[in-house]
Each structure stands twice: as structure tokens, then as C-alpha cells.
Structure 1
Amino acid sequence: MDIGARIEEATARLNETIVSRSKTIIVVFLVLTAVFAGGMAAIESEEGEMDAFTEGIPEQDALDAVDEEFEGAFDVGEESTQLVHTGTDVLTREELVRSLVVLERVEQRDDLRMESADGPATVVAQAIDPEAETAAEQRRVLEGATNAEVDRTIRALADDPAFASIVSEDFNPNEASASAAIIVIDHDVPGEFSDDDLTDTQRAVESIADDEPTDLRAFGSGIVDEEFENIIEDSMAIVMPIVVLLLLAFLAVAYRDPIDLVLGLLALVMTVVWTFGFLGYAGIPFGQMMIAVPVLLLAVGVDFGIHIVNRYREETVQGFEPVAAMRTANNQLMIAFVIVTTTTVFGFGANVVSDLAPIRDMGIASSVGIVFTFLIFGLFLPAAKLEVDQLRDHFGVPEFGSTPIASEDSSFGRLLSVPAIASQRAPVFFVVVLLLVGVGAAGYGAGVDTTFDEDDFLPPEEQPGYVDHVPEPFAPGEYTITGTINLLEDRFATNQDESVTIYVEGSLEEDHALEALEAPNDDPPSSLAVGDGGQAEAQSIVTVIHSHAEQDPEFAALVDRNDRSGNGVPDRNLDRVYDELFASPAGTEAERYLTDDRRGAKLEYAVDADAGQSEVAADAGTLAEDFRYGSTATGEIVVFDAVSDIIFASAIQGMMLAVGLTAVFLVIAYAVLEGRPWLGVANVFPIVIAVACLIATMRLLGMPLNALTATILSISIGIGIAYSVHTTARFIDEYNQLAEPVPALTTTLSGTGGALAGSMLTTSIGTGSLAFAITPVLGDFGLLMALSVFYSFVASIVALPPTLILWARFADSTDGLSDLTQRLGIRE
């Protein structure tokens, strides 16, 4: 007996078990569902979504090292809370006192563990009275001061870089005014202090600030993590009910029977429970990208459910009893389900090759979920359907809709069979035209952009209008982080998106050191040539020296005495220059650009706002190579560009891996099962066309490959190949009986094509519902997933028929692989 026959025999035995021991199967699956439900309680939300993407990337490691080495006045530790103070003028005496009232209340709360606080009010109060150390003492100092005294103190602090860093860029020294300021509260927390404890602390500070008659908004890592977690939960709360409602509507049309509808939904719920339970037991965190996983599983589950019920009905309408009908349906569909499951696992699982942990986790979760989907819809649903129908017969419960979706005699069936009839006269012409369309679409789509931006994961500052109409308990909460981040970027000189950092290492006390730091700035790459005369605009220890020299004549004289070249940059006795600088009021600012051991320096470069991310990152790398010392380019732009490169590589690698594994598997599978390996190639052809059209559509709509949409290419292959496999599986059964391709295709497209149409509608609408998710990245993914499913369906109906006609005409006579498999005994 050959391998194919043994597989068919094993499949027949499995199907016989399903129909003969259906009650046992139902009980086993329900028990397993209860077990997996226990794992759902262990699911943890992904904290620090952006960190998960950048972790382990050399550019991010360099940025972390720089940030740790050079902590400036604006930098905030993990155990700190920022209070962003906004208003018409936050530097008036009244506003400063109000901010100190908030700090005093925080200080009085032992559970908030306030160690210190820095802000305009504390700095001004201590400038007036250096002995005022507590918030209460500082408040009393400002309450006892006059408005004129406060204004004079602020004007005197105007040249202090530390003070300038905590007030907005519109700070006016002459009027002693600013529209925003930052107060940093440091918390003295023990080692066992958890992330949840930090969130509670920062929320308590926020509550105190909200009670005061001033505009103070709290911000910190705990609040950010909590809102990211809430974004996930709220998106799920909005998306999943929409998915369920849409599925109910379309499944009601597809099944046309309430009992079958309930069975289908039960199987879908079990699939989600099993997958979520696996995530909990496996310790895989649930981030924003994971929201797409249950939607994808529902898409495949709907496909399986419609096929099994539709094929079963095709048998029952011919008069077969339920057991015989289910046996026939299962025997025909089980192999197709196995092929679809395997190819879908290849498509989804191809994402595990990504260097980005969230994409890998998504690939693992979706692959395991697809296996669960196969088990539940391939074994449990047929058994449950059989038992329910037998009970209906016993109790005389009527059937409300037991006919298949389409047939050869229906108008819809005849419409679906048109491509087979149209392509029978010139299949070569149709295949060549489709191939040219695919090549053209792929060529156009090759220009699609690749991006990585934290805005993709943040909720919009202003939520879309439909959110206002979402009823409780599904209505999302209020989000503040996006608005706060935008405010910080707009009003403070902290926007890393507009600068790159060069980290220089070496002996920076050598006479030529500062000259070496300045030399590359004269002829920088184009995106960094934003200064006068095409020079680079850099902030470094040299600019701090120049700034302090303008304020301090003695220091200016020191610099001048040690400037042999006369260009304003000292080139000898640098240790003496550094000592004087660090001992001065400018020492705090100097610490931002030069390490204490004088062996590390940071330079921050402004970039051309019109330059692209990749151009800036490349130019930063080029500039770093021009330094005499060992230098590294980093910064948010450089890190995000590195992530973008990884995303693009992941997309291409995942797609190629999915196509390659799928093609090889299908060639082997059809060689083993049918002795016709070229059927595997025929199956892959439509999905390649569909993916090419999808990439072209992304470019046409201006939708880039990002952290989530990059997975769409391999996922499209995983889901889309199901349409080709189901069509081919039915075609082979009909072709073996009719021996003519066109009649076999006509029957296939009018029967299985109807199930595919129902599956396409439910799947595309279901995945498209992700567009209602709060974060933009999920909305884009949902739209592209819906388009992918639609393209896959159209390709299986339009591109597959002429391909199968060509196969039927030429494959059997010219297929050397087929002859080889026969000689090897794979098929007799």
C-alpha cells in the first residue's frame, strides 16, 4: 500500500471515530475547554510596548547607555512623576504657590514616598531663601515674597540651563513668563516596589493635582503602562462585540438555521478560549498586536465551519442519513483541512523568524491557535453537529435552512462558474495576463514605505466620533498620555524626533579633543547641514563652553588664553577649562554633554525637518565615521530606523518563508495524495497574485509596512491559500469522477465556491472590524486583512480555474515529478 493510500485510510479511521464516538469527542473537548479557561486568568498585558520592539537592538543599547551616562535636568527616572503645569503664565507668584501646595500635599502623604521635587517654584523659592528645603517652607517663602521679588529672581535664573530646561520654549526672561513648566517628583521606593505600586503612586499624585485650581497633569512610566494596558482592553471591548455581531449577521445568512448558528459560535468561542488559555500558561504577554490574533482565528474558524456544514448539507439534500452524510463530508474535507491548517501555520508561523519579540509572539500565538481551530472545527464541530441533528430528528425539531449556500442550478452558482467557462477556450492567455498583472502589482508595490513610530500604538489625542456612542460597559476610558506627549514635544526642547545623537569615546582632555569634536560640523551630510553656511547645528560641551564664556568674563579669559588657533575653541589645558566649567553654575548643563571622567561626550544634532527617517539615520552614521575618536550614532530617529529595517526584513523573510514552505508542502502533499505534484504549484499561483495586489494597494493607499502590517504578507498567504486548497480539493474529487476539467470546475465553483463566498464575506467583515480599534495600527491591519481575504477569494475564483485547466491538459503527460513519484512507490 502506498503512502497516499495509508494517509487516506488513517483519515477514514479518524472520520469513523468522529461519527461513531461523537459523544466522547464532545465531552473531551468540553473538558479541555475548561482546562484552557483556567489559563486565561494568567494572561499578562504587555508593558512598555515600544520597549518590546527596541529591546536588544544595538542602536537602542547605545541610546540607553548615553541616557544613563548623561542625565540632564529634564531627564526623569523610572521612579519619578512629572507634573506638567500649563496656563497663560505659570511663573506668576500665585501659580508657583499653587504648584507648591500640590507638592506639600504629596509630601505629607507617607505612602507617596516623595524624596525630592524640582520645578520652577522650588528653584525660585530656594533662590530667595536657600534654607527652604521642604515644600511647606518653600510655599511660605513665596507667599511672603512680593510679585516684583519673584520676577527679579526668575530673570536672574534665566541664564541657568537647569532652569531653562524645565520651562517651555516660549519662556520670556524680561516678563518672567512661560506658558508651561515641568515639575519632577522623585519617589524613594523600596526594592519590592512593583509596577502596579508605581502606577498607584502616580495616579494618587494626579488626583491631588486635579483637586487644586490649576492645570497640572501627571505623567510617568506607571501611567503610561496603565494606559497602554487600558488601550488593549478597551480595543478588545469595542472590537470583539462588533466582530460577534457581524459574525452573527453573516453566519445567520450562511447557516440560515439558529441551531447551526449556535454550534458555529460555540466552536469559535472555544477556539478563542483555548488560544488565550495557551497564552496564559505559556507566559506570552498580550500586547496590542495580539488583538489581531483572535480575529484571525475567527476568520479561519468561520471558513472551516461554513465548509463542513455546507458540504454536509450537500449530502443530506440528496437524501443521505446524517451519519452517512457526515462521513462523506468529513472524508472529503479532512485532508483539505489538514492542508489548510498546515499552510496557514506556515503563513502565520513565518513571523517567528522576526528579530522583534512582539512579532515572534504573535506568530507563535496565531500558529498554535490555528492548530486549535483545526481540532475544534475538524473534530468537535462535526461530532456536535451530528449529535444535534440526531436529537432534532428524535424530538421532531424542524430545520430552518438545510440547503447549501449555492448549487449549479442557482443564479449565484452559475455566476461563480463563469470564470471556468470563460477561460476554457484560452487558458494560456488568461494565465499570462494574470501573471503580468501580478508582476506589475508586485513591481509597483515594491515601493511601499516602511515605518516605525510610537504614534501607531498610542490612542489618538481626540478619539473618533463613534467612541462617544459606544454604550457601557464597552465605552473606553479617558487617555491622557498622547496629549501630554504632544504638549511636551510642542512646548519643550525635548523632541528627539528632530535630533540625532553622536556618542564619542576617548581621552577628551587631550589638546586636540574639542577641535576634533568641532571639525566634522563644517562639512556634514545633507540632512544635518541645517546651520548657517551649510554647517551642522550641534549642542555639545563646546556650545556650553561658549555660552558660559558669554556670561562669565573670567571664564572667557581662561578660554581665550588656551585658544591657540583663535577660533573660540580651547586647544590646551582642557582639564583646567573643564574644572572651571563644572564648578560654575553651568556645570549642570555641562554634565549633559561630558562625563565626569572626561572620556565620553555627547553631541546632539538638529536635522532637516523634510528629510526622511532613513536618510537622517544614514547621514548620522556617516557623520559618526568622521570623528577622530570612536563614535556611535544613536537617538530616537536612528533607533526607529533600525526597527523599520528589521520590520521590512521580517516582512520579506516571512513572506518568502511562507511561500516557500507552502509551495514545497503542497507539491509533496499532492504528490503523496494524488500523484500530481504540479497541483501544489497551481495552488500557490492565485495567492501570489493576491499578495502582489495587496502590496500594490498598500502603496496606492499610502499605508506603510509597520510593526503590525508587516505581518500581513505572510498572514495573507496563510489565510488566502485556504481558498485555493478548498477549491482544488473539491475539483480533484469531481475531476476524478468526470475526467473533464471544465464540468469539474463548474461543479466546484458553484458548490464550494458558494461556501468560499460566505467565508470571504464573514472573514473580511470580521477582520475589517479592527478598523474600530482605538489605535491606528490595528485599524490599518484590519482594513488590509479584509482586502487580503477579498483578493484571495477573487484569485481562487478567477486565477485558479485557467491554471487548473492548463494542469489538466498538460500535467499528466509532461509531469516528470508525477512519473518519479510512481516509480518511488508514493503512488501506484
Structure 2
Amino acid sequence: MNASDLFAAVTKYSRGIIAVLLVLTVLVGAGAPMVEQSSSLDQFQSDSTAAQKLDYIESNFASGDQNQTTVQLIVRDENGNVLSKGAMVETLQLQQALRNNATVNRTLANETPTAGVANIVATVAIRQEQATELRKQGAQLQRKRADLNATVGNLSDLLNRTREIQREYDRLNRSRQRGEVNNSTYRQRANRLESQFREVRSRADRLLTDQQTGRFVRLVGQTRTLQGNLDALNASLAANEINRSTYAERAAQIRQQFRQVYERGLPGVLRGEFASLRESGKQLRQQRQQLQNASAPTLEEQIQQLQSMNESEVESTVSTVLSEGGSGPSSRAFAFMPTSYDPGSTQANATMLVVFQTQQGQTVQSMASSTIVESQTAIQDIAKQQLDREVLVFGSGIISEETEQSMADSIAIVGPMALVFVVLTLVIAYRDLLDILLGVFGIVAVLVWTFGFMGWFDITFNQIFIAVPVLLIGLSIDYAIHVFMRHREERAEHEGESVRQGMSVALASVGVALVWVTATTVIGFMSNLVSPLPPIQDFGIVSSVGILAALIVFGGLIPALKVEIDGYLEARGYDRKKRAFGTGGGALGSMLSVGAVAARKAPFVVIALTLVLSAGGAYGATQVDTSFSQTDFLAEDPPNWMKDLPEPFAPGTYTAKANLEYVNENFLRQDSQAQILVEGGVATPQALDKLEQAEQTAAQKEDVVVVLSNGEPQIRSPLSVMERVAARNESFNETLAAADTDGDGVPDRNVEKVFDKLFEVAPQEAKGVISRQDGEYEAARMVVSVKGGASSSTVTAEMRDIAANIQGGGLTATATGQPIVFEIVQKQLLDTVIQSLLITLGATFAFLMIAYRLAHGSATLGAITLLPVAFSVSWILGTMYLLGMPFNVLTGMITSLTVGLGVAYSIHLSERYTMELGRRGTVREAMRESVTGTGGALLGSAATTVGGFGVLVFAILPALQQFGIITALTIIYAFLASVLVLPSLLTLWTRYLGPDEAGAAEPNAAVASGRTEVSED
């Protein structure tokens, strides 16, 4: 069955065609409600090495951040001070309000739900008071120790005095034994010595309690005995009763006993006091250790602390916390301050509060869950109610909500506008209500088929699919215009021809062109399958299905409906003959004839000018940038006239993009990080040396790395974590110091033991930078906070250089992270542009040459038909360069779209020309009839398509606005190329390679006469 027979079947079996296609429309359309929506950027990521390593990090570094998302609240007060006591108390009270809200609270991270400068200032103030109290207790213990030591010293003096008295007593006894003193003198002296002994006891009584005095008296007795033994030993030596060796041995024993009395006995007198002192000292040390390891004070305690302080005390603490060179919590405070903050100042007009939320395994860039969206919306509302100051709220939930809202708002605004524009255009072109209604019905049917296909095949509706309805509206109406206008022309030329006969001839004459247009357009869209980005692949598939649906609907259903309806009306006396748009002369006909006139008078001049213009466009094409970033999908706040639209067309308020830009320019972005994954033998001194060098190198990359206002780059690695833990944990500090023999802060031995200790004392922090599997250390990572506005290409180049320096010696280093993954997507977008263009041009070129060879006996006619499209590709790319438009996920498809859409105009004109050439006999008449007949239909279809895409300029999404502008220009260029350039190319083809030279076969009689007999039935 040839094409004529196939299209004749549409008119012959019109009622059956209507029934079958309506049933299919219902069945396929049943899938439309199953279409899901997503605004996630993760879907654009391909399976690159960087993406794989990022997945590895999220799976193996259990720091908790892979299950967290952050909300950044920027508190601004241009005329005030956000570091004042009142402002910080309000910030703490805002945190309390967030925790008290059920919607927000269920998403908060357990350990540290919120963090900001106010928390650090209040915590430091509390710690300072606690430290002051501990110092007071320490001073009291020192005084007690000093008093006890003084008492022991006094007792020691009393024992010394006891020994002196005992020596005199022993000498007195020896003198009496030798008869040197009489009894009376002896008693006097002995009584005096006993009185001195009593004086020692009396002095001890004044120093000691009764129990302590009893202990001391025993020591006095031991001392007198030992001293007596020593005196007797000295007397024996003097009398030569013992030799010196025996003397020395016995004297040493006595002196040892004396030392025990003094060193153990004397403190033993105050043993209870010394035990109490030791216990108090132990408790004090425990309190100090607890203070070092203490968890953060509660919000209530922080609020009470700041409220209890006066303004000067708060200012003093703020100055301490935010002083340059601060350590511990103070060093982390700068992460919440603007990068332009002056360290030590107690004045600032902006600060940041971070809220940490759990998101059940989703990454930061993933589409936020409904729970996260609801909670962050609640955070925004609470912050604005709680604070008198301006608050900017920035988070993945807010972004996700605004992105999806912008998609919905864009459809709500653009969809009706496109439809209204198309209807208005059809009113001008058709000037017939029935044809307009049939066209609109056909568009709806095509959309039903397309979205039904998406639902049945589980294809998610994302940002770039907003262009699909507009695309299909424009292309579908093109089919209708060509069929209806050709039908009108046929009936106008042949008086008395029935509706059914006219439609049969119209479909036979334009049907092949429609099939070829569909095939080439599908080739253009399907070329996107070479893209490694899944959404672009899906876009190509869905668009191709939509175009096929358009061919079925407007090549079958709508013509069948028109045959039945027009036949019914004419049978009842209504005249359904209408004049085709662009025919009948007039200004429009003259305008459309410009290309035909130029082709007759100066075809070479037209082609020369076209080549010059195309060469300029080709140069501009090489200068077009590529972009893939979050801001591509963030809407700016719509103009006021849009907000004044009635519901449901009025768009919402959009702040995420402005907030994102403000955060990028002034603060540390919590979600903007590059990472270096190091795999292999990381528990070695060599690996740590390389990590240290990498940190130092990264710190110098000030063009991409965030440097806080205190001059410190934001870099986290095993080394920085070990340094931070050592500052607060004495046992780990000892382990680290023992492994660091040269004192440079990097362990040079026993690295595994250091890692083991780190996992023991700070497991969560250790897991954030070191991966341990079954006791083996297999990977480490370095996290570098990069500037939110930094170029992804620069970040990628810098991080890859750092990774390359780590590589080697049993280590594998890979640069990854969101900026690097996005840069890979950008390169893949550029590859998609080039590859899809080459594939589309190549496949379309081959298809047209084969098709025209089979249909008209001239393969060169296929090449000639494609040439204007190739020219228009260079024009549109040059225009993108002049307008400063980059290739993004939407505009990156413009080359394949230009070929796919643009070739339709050339095919229709070429087909009409070859047909008219056989019917009219001369090139001049054939060209004039083609450009005024088909050219009018082309103008109508171009107008509707341009209008359909042009309304995308009113979309909320910036990428859609760009896509609408550039696609509308693509249609204009394709139309101009077909009616201005193609006539000259066809003229030269006819002159040098036409039917006679190419040996083309004569058209068959049916086509030549434009008649195909079809029965009324």
C-alpha cells in the first residue's frame, strides 16, 4: 500500500478511524494521572567517577552529614548590631521557638539542632564562669595545702626541738653517771628539761586537735627514743666500745627511722586533713575534665546566661570569642560571620544561624521530602514572626518548594498564554470556528497521548519537561495548518469537489511531507539519546513520542473528523469552502514571493550572503559557554504585573535566588563543598604528610576556597580533626604527642594507634574523615568549603591538581563533590550539543537523500533541502553568543531542535515545489505557487510555533525563558531560510541537478493532476 492508498483509507474509513483513535486516546491518556514530578538536580548526574566516589563517601564516612540538610538563616540589621545582647537573646529565643514547633522539631538533628554566634558567646560565658569557680576552688585547696604544710613544718620544728632537748637530757645523764654533777644539780637541770618537753607538748596542743595531739605525742616519744639511741651510739663510738663500721651501720638505721618519722609520721598526724585535701583535689580535677568534655549548655541555660550579663560583659565576651587567633569554640564562631567581618569587633550588621535537619538518607542536592519542605517553610514563617530584624532563610526545602512552585506557576501562566496565542493565530489563519475547534481538540489529544505515555513508562516530569507542552502545541498545529490549508487550496482549484475527495488529495499531497517531517523531527529529538544525562534522554524520547502522536492525530483523527463534520454540514446546505491563508495575492503574497523573486534574479547573491552570515554564526558558536548550576533553576521574583493576575494564574513570591546570591557573596555556604577522597594505605606517616601538604596547598587557593574573616580556610581532614580533639582531650593529646616525635603536629609513627585512639575518644568526628572497615583503615577524605559563586571549572581544576599531588605511593586520590559533579555535567552538556548536532545532521542528511532518491529520483534534492537548516543552526548559535546565552540543560538541545524543527519547513516547500514543477511546467510558476501556497501555511505554522515558544519568556524559570527565546528565534530562522534561501537553492538545483539532469521520473498522472478519485463512501 502506497502513501496515497494509506491516506485515502483515512477518508474512506473515517468513522472507523475516529472510533479507534478516540479509544486509543482514552487508553493511553489513562496513564497521565500517574506522572510524578521532581525538581531534583541529582537526576541530571551521570555515572561519572566523581559521582561514584561521592556515593562512596556518603556510604562509608558515617559523619552524619550525608543524612543531614542545613537551613541557613541570615539575620540582618543594616542600622543596628546583631551582636548586641538583645539581638543574641532574640536569636536564642528563636532557636527555642523552632524546637518547640512540632513541624520543625520532628526534623531536627538530635545532637546539634541549631548553631550560631549567640550559642558560642553564651557557652563561652558559661564556661568562663565555671572556669572561674574552679579556679577559686583550686586556690582554696592551695591555701589549705599550704596551711597543712605549714603545720607539718611547725610540727617538724617541734620534733627538732624535742631532739635538742633529748640530747641535753642524754648528756646530763652521762654527766651524772660519770659523777660530774651532784644529785641536786641533776634534778634542777632535769626539771628544766622536762619543762621544755612540756612546752613542746603545749605548742602542739595549740596547733592540733586532741586526736592529732595524741598522734604527735607518740611521734615525740619515738623521736626521744631514737635520739637517745643515737646519743648512746655516739657515746659508744667515743669510748671505743664499737668500731666505725658497726657505728655507721647502726647510725644509718637510726637515720632511716628518723626519715620515716618526719616524712610519714608527721603528715600522718594530719592524715584526715591530707586525705580530705587529696579527695578535694581529685574532685577538682574531675570537674576540670568534665568541663573540657562537657556537652553544650541547654538553650535555657544559654538564654539565662546572656540575660544575667550586662551589655559591657556581653561585649567583652563577644570580643574574646571573635578575636583573631582564637581557639576552640571561638575559632568556629567565624563560620557564622560575614567574610568581611573585622575580627574582634563587637559590631556587625549580619550573622548566620544554622539549623541542622535529618532528611532520611537524601543528599543535600536531592529533591527535599515533603517533610523537609514543610519544616523549612515553617522555619521561615517562625523567623519572620519571632524577629524584628530582616531574616533570609536559605535551604534545600525552600529551594525545592520554589523550584516546584515555579514549575507550576510557569505552566499556569505559559500554558493558557500559548493556547490563547495559538487560537488567535488560528483565527487569523483559519477564519473558521470549526477548524479552530478541531485544531485545539487535536492539540489536547496530542498532549493526552504524550503525558499518558510518560505515566505508563514511569518518566518523571522535571524542569525541562515544561517545554514539552509548548513544543507539542506549536508542532501539532503545524500539522493541522498544512493539512487544512492544502485541503482548502484543493477545493478552491476544483469546483464541485466533495469534502472527502478534497481531503484525500490534500493528504496524498502533504502526507508524505508530514511523514518525512515527523521522521526528521524524531531523528532530531532521538539524537539526545547520546547524552549521558538521563533527563535529556527522557526529553528526547517523550518529544519523539509526542511528534508521532501529532502525526497520528493530525494525519488521521482530525482529518477524519473534519471529513465527517464538513460533509454533514454541506449536506445540509452550509458552504465549507474557505480560502487558504497566503493565497489570493495581496501584501502577504508579495511578501512571501520575495524569496522566489530573488531566486529568479540573483540566486548566487542570495547564497553568497547566506554563506557570509553563516560563517559569522559559526564563529560565534565556538564562543558559547556552558552552564549547569543551581541558579539556572531558581526563579527571580516575578514582576508586579504578574502578581496582579487573578488566581490561579498569579505566581508566588520567590526569594531563594536572591538569598543564594547573598549567601554566596557574604557567608560560608554550608552545602558548597569539594572533597578529596584518598584510598589505600592512609594509616601511614607518608599518607598524613601528603594530606598536610594538600591542606597547605588548598589553603592558598583563595580564588575558590572560603577563607573566614579570621584568615583561616575552611578545611576538614584527619589532621584538623586530630588537632581539634587533642585540644580538649588529654589522653588523645598524649597519644598524638607520643606519635609526633618532631613536634610538627603530624604523627610520624604509630599512625594506626593514633587512629585507634581517635575512634575511641571521638568516634563520630573520626568517622567523618576516616573510613574503617573490619578494623582496617582504607580511606580518608579532605573536605574543602568552596565559595558558592566560584566557577565549577576553576574548582574542579584546583581540586584535581591537589588530588594529583596526593596520588602515588599506594594511594589513590579523587576530587569530587557537588561543584565537580556539576562541572562534569557541564562538559557532558557540551558533548551532547556537539554529538546530537552531528548525529542529527548526519542521520537527517542520509534519510532525506534516500527518501528523495526513492520518491523523486534525486538524492541531491535531500541535501539541498537540508542546507537551509544547516545555515540556520549557525545563525542560532551565533545569536546565542551575541545574547550571552549559555548552553544549559534546555538550550543545550537547541542544535538538534533546530534541525528537527527547521527541516519541516524546508521539506514542505521542497515537496510542494517538486509537485508544482510537474504540474506547472516552469520553475517560475512552480516557485511562485509553492512560496505563496505552502509559504502561507509555513508562515501560519511558524507564527503559531514562535508564539507558542515565545510565551516561555513569561515563564518563572530563567532556563525556560532562555529556551523560549532561543527556540522562537530558531523557528523564525528556519522559516526565513526556507522562504528566502531555499528558493535560490532549488532554482540552482533545477538548473544544474534537476529532474532532467538527475534522470528523475515523471510524476504519475494522479499526482501530476493533483487528483485522486475517492468514492463518496
Q: Taking structure 1 as the reference length, what is the TM-score of the superposition?
A: 0.85
Shift of the alpha carbon at 1:384?
A: 1.9
Shift of the alpha carbon at 1:271?
A: 1.3
Q: Secondary structure of the equivalent of 1:626? A: helix
> Do structure 1's residue 98 and structure 2's residue 93 form an aligned pair?
yes
TM-aligned CA distance change 1:525 to 1:501, over 3 Å: same
TM-aligned CA distance change 1:453 to 1:517, over 3 Å: same
Q: Secondary structure of the equivalent of 1:699? A: helix
> Do structure 1's residue 478 and structure 2's residue 650 form an aligned pair?
no
CA displacement, residues 322-353 of structure 1 (integer Å, 9 cap, x when unaligned): 22221211110111111111111111121122
Q: Provide the residue aligned with 2:7 in structure 1.
A: 15
Equivalent residue runs for 1:576-725 within 5 Å: 600-603=779-782, 613-627=792-806, 628=808, 629-725=811-907
Q: Provide the residue aligned with 1:119 in structure 2.
A: 115
Shift of the alpha carbon at 1:80?
A: 6.7
CA displacement, residues 56-101 of structure 1 (integer Å, 9 cap, x when unaligned): 332233344446666879x573477665555541673521442243
Greater CA radius of gyration, 1 or 2? Answer: 2
Which amino acid in structure 2 is aligned with residue 505 of structure 1? E
Q: Provide the residue aligned with 1:379 in structure 2.
A: 556
TM-aligned CA distance change 1:197 to 1:619, over 3 Å: closer
Q: Which residue of the other structure, out of 506, 515, 518, is the alignment partner of 1:341?
A: 518
Which amino acid in structure 2 is aligned with residue 456 of structure 1? D
CA displacement, residues 164-192 of structure 1 (integer Å, 9 cap, x when unaligned): 4455544855638672232425459799x
Q: Provide the residue aligned with 2:633 in structure 1.
A: 457
CA separation in 2, counterparts of 1:648 and 1:602? 30
Shift of the alpha carbon at 1:468?
A: 2.5
> Do structure 1's residue 405 and structure 2's residue 581 form an aligned pair?
yes
Cα pair 1:115 1:188 within 8 Å, conserved: no
Which amino acid in structure 2 is aligned with residue 42 of structure 1? M
Q: Provide the residue aligned with 1:3 in structure 2.
A: none
Equivalent residue runs for 1:349-388 within 5 Å: 349-388=526-565
Q: Which residue of the other structure, out of 689, 693, 697, is the alignment partner of 1:515?
A: 689
TM-aligned CA distance change 1:545 to 1:219, over 3 Å: closer
CA separation in 1, counterparts of 2:744 and 2:109? 47
Equivalent residue runs for 1:537-552 within 5 Å: 539=715, 541=717, 544=720
Shift of the alpha carbon at 1:398?
A: 6.2
TM-aligned CA distance change 1:434 to 1:100, over 3 Å: closer
Q: Provide the residue aligned with 1:32 in structure 2.
A: 24
TM-aligned CA distance change 1:82 to 1:598, over 3 Å: farther
Q: Provide the residue aligned with 2:67 in structure 1.
A: 77
Equivalent residue runs for 1:542-581 within 5 Å: 544=720, 571-572=748-749
Q: Secondary structure of the equivalent of 2:676? A: strand
CA separation in 2, counterparts of 1:545 and 1:12? 78
- RMSD, aligned CA: 4.2
> Do structure 1's residue 313 and structure 2's residue 488 form an aligned pair?
yes
> Do structure 1's residue 62 and structure 2's residue 239 form an aligned pair?
no
TM-aligned CA distance change 1:346 to 1:485, over 3 Å: same
CA displacement, residues 287-327 of structure 1 (integer Å, 9 cap, x when unaligned): 11001111111111121111111111112223233222212
CA separation in 1, counterparts of 2:799 and 2:106? 45
TM-aligned CA distance change 1:740 to 1:619, over 3 Å: farther
Bigger shift: 642-651 or 194-203? 194-203
TM-aligned CA distance change 1:634 to 1:421, over 3 Å: same
Q: Which residue of the other structure, out of 389, 393, 397, is the alignment partner of 2:570?
A: 393
CA displacement, residues 732-776 of structure 1 (integer Å, 9 cap, x when unaligned): 111112333232111101111111112112211211111111111
Q: Secondary structure of the equivalent of 2:35? A: coil
Q: Which residue of the other structure, out of 43, 49, 64, is the alignment partner of 1:52?
A: 43
Aligned length: 801
Q: Provide the residue aligned with 2:265 in structure 1.
A: none
CA displacement, residues 236-287 of structure 1 (integer Å, 9 cap, x when unaligned): 0011111112112211111112222122111112211221222122211111
Percentage identity across paired residues of the two chains? 32
CA separation in 1, counterparts of 2:728 and 2:299? 32
Bigger shift: 243-252 or 488-497? 488-497
Cα pair 2:678 2:780 within 8 Å, conserved: yes
Which amino acid in structure 2 is aligned with residue 621 of structure 1? R
Cα pair 1:167 1:178 within 8 Å, conserved: no
Q: Which residue of the other structure, out of 407, 417, 421, is the alignment partner of 1:246?
A: 421
Shift of the alpha carbon at 1:371?
A: 0.5
Q: Secondary structure of the equivalent of 1:459? A: coil
Q: Which residue of the other structure, out of 282, 286, 298, is the alignment partner of 2:473?
A: 298
TM-aligned CA distance change 1:464 to 1:508, over 3 Å: same
TM-aligned CA distance change 1:162 to 1:477, over 3 Å: same
> Do structure 1's residue 790 and structure 2's residue 972 form an aligned pair?
yes
Q: Taking structure 2 as the reference length, what is the TM-score of the superposition?
A: 0.70
Equivalent residue runs for 1:125-140 within 5 Å: 128=126
CA separation in 1, counterparts of 2:376 and 2:789? 37
Q: Secondary structure of the equivalent of 1:502? A: strand
Q: Provide the residue aligned with 1:807 in structure 2.
A: 989
Which amino acid in structure 2 is aligned with residue 372 of structure 1? A
CA separation in 1, counterparts of 2:905 and 2:860? 17
TM-aligned CA distance change 1:528 to 1:478, over 3 Å: closer
TM-aligned CA distance change 1:166 to 1:576, over 3 Å: farther
Shift of the alpha carbon at 1:115?
A: 4.0
CA separation in 2, counterparts of 1:19 and 1:153? 89
Cα pair 1:90 1:181 within 8 Å, conserved: no
CA separation in 2, counterparts of 1:104 and 1:52? 33
Q: Which runs of 5+ in 2 are unaligned?
A: 128-293, 706-711, 1002-1017
Q: Provide the residue aligned with 1:89 in structure 2.
A: 82
CA separation in 1, counterparts of 2:67 and 2:579? 66
CA separation in 2, counterparts of 1:149 and 1:396? 97
CA separation in 1, counterparts of 2:420 and 2:15? 30
Q: Which residue of the other structure, out of 584, 599, 602, is the alignment partner of 1:423?
A: 599
Which amino acid in structure 2 is aligned with residue 791 of structure 1? Y
TM-aligned CA distance change 1:491 to 1:443, over 3 Å: closer
Shift of the alpha carbon at 1:113?
A: 7.6
Which amino acid in structure 2 is aligned with residue 330 of structure 1? L
Q: Secondary structure of the equivalent of 2:628? A: coil
Shift of the alpha carbon at 1:362?
A: 0.7
CA separation in 1, counterparts of 2:784 and 2:380? 35
CA separation in 2, counterparts of 1:676 and 1:646? 38
Q: Secondary structure of the equivalent of 1:748? A: helix
Which amino acid in structure 2 is aligned with residue 464 of structure 1? P
CA separation in 1, counterparts of 2:854 and 2:10? 24
Q: Provide the residue aligned with 1:182 in structure 2.
A: 353
Cα pair 2:857 2:998 within 8 Å, conserved: no
Equivalent residue runs for 1:497-516 within 5 Å: 500-516=674-690
Q: Secondary structure of the equivalent of 2:34? A: coil
TM-aligned CA distance change 1:305 to 1:671, over 3 Å: same
Cα pair 2:663 2:669 within 8 Å, conserved: yes
Cα pair 2:4 2:508 within 8 Å, conserved: yes
Cα pair 2:589 2:932 within 8 Å, conserved: yes
Q: Which runs of 5+ in 1 are unaligned?
A: 1-5, 820-828
Cα pair 1:513 1:571 within 8 Å, conserved: no
Shift of the alpha carbon at 1:157?
A: 5.6
